[in-house]
Amino acid sequence: MQVQEIIETNRMIQKHNLDVRTITMGISLRDCGHPDIKVFCKNIYDKITRTAKNLVHVGKDIAGEYGIPIINKRISITPIALAAESCRTDSYVPVAETLESAAREVGVNFIGGFSALVEKDFTTGDKVLLRSIPEALAKTERVCASVNLGSTKAGINMDAVKQMGIIIKHTAELTAERNAIGCAKLVVFCNAPDDNPFMAGAFHGIGEGESTINVGVSGPGVVKHALETVKGESFDVVAETIKRTAFKVTRIGQLVAQEASRRLGVPLGICDLSLAPTPAVGDSVAHILEEMGLESCGGPGTTAALALLNDCVKKGGLMAAARVGGLSGAFIPVSEDAGMIEAVERGSLTLEKLEAMTCVCSVGLDMIAVPGNTPASTLSAIIADEAAIGMINNKTTAVRLIPMPGKKVGDVVEFGGLLGRCPVMAVNRFRADDFIARGGHIPAPVRSLTN
Q: Judge whether residue 16 has pLDDT over 80.
A: no
Q: DSSP string of 238-255?
A: HHHHHHHHHHHHHHHHHH
The sheet carrying 19-27 orders its strands as 268-272, 211-218, 19-27, 70-77, 110-117, 143-148, 186-190, 397-404, 365-371
How much is the pTM? 0.92
Strands (E), 51-206: 70-77, 110-117, 143-148, 150-151, 155-157, 186-190
211 vs 9, residue with greater confidence: 211
The answer to whether residues 388 and 155 touch, using CB atoms and an 8 Å cutoff, is no
Beta bridge partners of 27: 77, 211
Phi, psi of 47 (to 5 degrees): -70, -45
Residues 101-133: tens digit of each pLDDT? 999 999 999 999 999 999 999 999 999 999 999
**What is the structure's pLDDT at 327?**
86
131 and 271 share a domain? no
| Mean pLDDT value across residues 396-412 | 93
359 and 310 share a domain? yes
385 and 245 share a domain? yes
The answer to whether residues 201 and 144 touch, using CB atoms and an 8 Å cutoff, is yes
Q: Does some domain include residue 67?
A: yes
CA dihedral defined by 256, 262, 268, 270, rounded to 10 degrees? 0
Q: Does some domain include residue 200?
A: no
168 and 32 share a domain? yes
- Cα 111 to chain center, whole Å? 13
Q: Judge whether residue 200 has pLDDT over 50.
A: yes
35 and 158 share a domain? yes
Single residue among 190, 208, 225 that ends a domain in this structure: 190
Q: Judge whether residue 239 has pLDDT over 70.
A: yes
**What is the structure's pLDDT at 190?**
96
Residues 330-370: tens digit of each pLDDT? 888 888 888 989 999 999 999 999 999 999 987 889 999 99
- What band does 377 get if pLDDT is binned at 50, 70 and 90? very high
**What is the structure's pLDDT at 19?**
76
**What is the structure's pLDDT at 15?**
55
**C-alpha–C-alpha distance, residues 194 and 191, integer Å:** 9
Largest Cα span, the chain:
65
**C-alpha–C-alpha distance, residues 101 and 87, integer Å:** 20
Q: Does some domain include residue 97?
A: yes
Q: Judge whether residue 14 has pLDDT over 60.
A: no
Task: Provide the mean pLDDT of the chain.
Answer: 91
276 vs 342, residue with greater confidence: 342
**What is the structure's pLDDT at 87?**
94
Q: What is the CATH number of the domain that holds 223?
A: 3.20.70.20
288 and 326 share a domain? yes
The answer to whether residues 168 and 401 touch, using CB atoms and an 8 Å cutoff, is yes
| Mean pLDDT value across residues 387-394 | 94
**What is the structure's pLDDT at 323?**
87
**C-alpha–C-alpha distance, residues 237 and 263, integer Å:** 40
Distances (CA, A) of 204 to 37, 191, 269: 21, 14, 11
244 and 338 share a domain? yes
Q: Judge whether residue 12 has pLDDT over 80.
A: no
268 and 179 share a domain? no
Q: Does some domain include residue 343?
A: yes
| Mean pLDDT value across residues 414-425 | 82
**C-alpha–C-alpha distance, residues 348 and 334, integer Å:** 13
**What is the structure's pLDDT at 11?**
60
* Strand 70-77 to 19-27 pairing: parallel
Q: Does some domain include residue 17?
A: no
370 and 283 share a domain? yes
Q: Is 251 left (phi over 0), alpha (psi -120 to 50) or beta?
A: alpha
**What is the structure's pLDDT at 418?**
72
The parent domain of residue 245 ranges over 216-442
Distances (CA, A) of 55 to 58, 212, 213, 295: 5, 12, 10, 43
164 vs 18, residue with greater confidence: 164
How many other CB atoms are there within 10 angstroms of residue 451's CB atom?
4
Q: Count the residues in the chain.
A: 451
42 and 170 share a domain? yes
Single residue among 130, 156, 190 that ends a domain in this structure: 190
Beta bridge partners of 403: 370
**C-alpha–C-alpha distance, residues 387 and 385, integer Å:** 5
Q: What angle, 0 to 180 degrees and rounded to 10, lies between the N-to-C axes of helices 37-51 and 93-106?
A: 20
- What band does 43 get if pLDDT is binned at 50, 70 and 90? very high
Q: Judge whether residue 286 has pLDDT over 60.
A: yes
Of the candidate ranges 140-149, 185-194, 220-229, 236-245, the one whose mean pLDDT is the lowest = 220-229
Q: Does some domain include residue 15?
A: no
The answer to whether residues 103 and 111 touch, using CB atoms and an 8 Å cutoff, is yes
Q: Does some domain include residue 51?
A: yes
**What is the structure's pLDDT at 336?**
84
- In the chain, % of residues over pLDDT 70: 96
13 vs 238, residue with greater confidence: 238
Residues 130-184: tens digit of each pLDDT? 999 999 999 999 999 999 999 999 999 999 999 999 999 999 999 999 999 999 9
Give every CB contact of residue 340 below 8 A, 6+ residues apart in sequence.
Answer: 277, 284, 285, 286, 297, 332, 333, 334, 349
DSSP class of residue 163?
H
**C-alpha–C-alpha distance, residues 146 and 399, integer Å:** 10
**What is the structure's pLDDT at 69?**
84
Number of domains into which the chain is organized: 2
- What band does 217 get if pLDDT is binned at 50, 70 and 90? confident
**C-alpha–C-alpha distance, residues 354 and 333, integer Å:** 10
Q: Does some domain include residue 448?
A: no
| Mean pLDDT value across residues 32-45 | 96
345 vs 282, residue with greater confidence: 345
253 and 180 share a domain? no
**What is the structure's pLDDT at 17?**
60
243 and 366 share a domain? yes
Query: Residue ranges of the alpha helices (H) in 107-157?
Result: 124-138
**What is the structure's pLDDT at 3?**
45
| Mean pLDDT value across residues 418-438 | 91
Give every CB contact of residue 31 below 8 A, 6+ residues apart in sequence.
Answer: 43, 47
